Amino acid sequence: MGQIVEEYERGPRLDGALNLETPDFKFDKKGIFLRETKQFPCLRQIPELCKLAEAVVASWYLEPTLTSSRAWHRISFERPIGLAFVDEKTKQLESELQTVEGRNLSIEGISFAHSEPIYSREVAIALDLEKPTLEFLVTRLAWSRFSEAQLFQSGGKFIRQVEVDKSHFEL
């Protein structure tokens, strides 16, 4: 059996031993990160997420289309975050702000733990509670469960970013 050799623009790339050499392939992961967080600029202030733009991710896919895949780009985010309910009719944030515990974060969504059930499909999440103007990520919840630790865990995808003065909330 002979060797299989295919010619590409830069010469042989595949031999019979299936040694695959990829052509010089560069994609600007930092640029992709900035583009994909354009709608949610507050995510650019999270150091752990910014590090993802510099990380190497192994994948079976040759295309960089999976750069925002939550399965590959989820980070642990175990810290207190703010949660406000969104009025279903007016789409405005209600004035009560609860503190819940973050679990995982990606450029597409978040998961968090909370002690009371959430009856709304949309909530607003503030990742940094120290600022005078809170940057909320309105999130459409996709799942919720009750854990063995006697806490609810919920998660969903970001829809839009909203800024609200901290004085709007009852703390």
Confidence (pLDDT) at 165: 86
DSSP character at residue 150: S
What's the rounded Cα separation, in Å, for the pair 84 and 8? 55
What's the rounded Cα separation, in Å, for the pair 52 and 5? 36
Rounded to 5°, the CA angle 111-101-35 comes to 45
Q: Are 58 and 71 in contact (CB under 8 A)?
A: no
Please name the CATH architecture into which domain 76-168 falls: Beta Barrel (2.40)
CA distances from 31 to 67, 85, 117 (A): 11, 33, 38
CA distances from 166 to 27, 36, 83 (A): 40, 27, 13
- pLDDT (tens digit, 0 to 9) for every residue of the chain, 171 residues total? 555 544 445 544 444 554 445 555 556 777 878 888 889 999 888 888 887 777 655 555 555 554 445 444 688 899 999 999 999 889 889 889 999 999 999 889 999 999 999 988 999 999 988 888 899 999 999 999 998 889 999 999 999 999 988 887 776
Confidence (pLDDT) at 167: 81
- With CA atoms as reference, report the closest residue to 126 among 74, 79, 87: 79
Confidence (pLDDT) at 130: 87
pLDDT per residue over 118-159, tens digit each?
Answer: 988 999 999 988 888 899 999 999 999 998 889 999 999 999
Confidence (pLDDT) at 132: 83
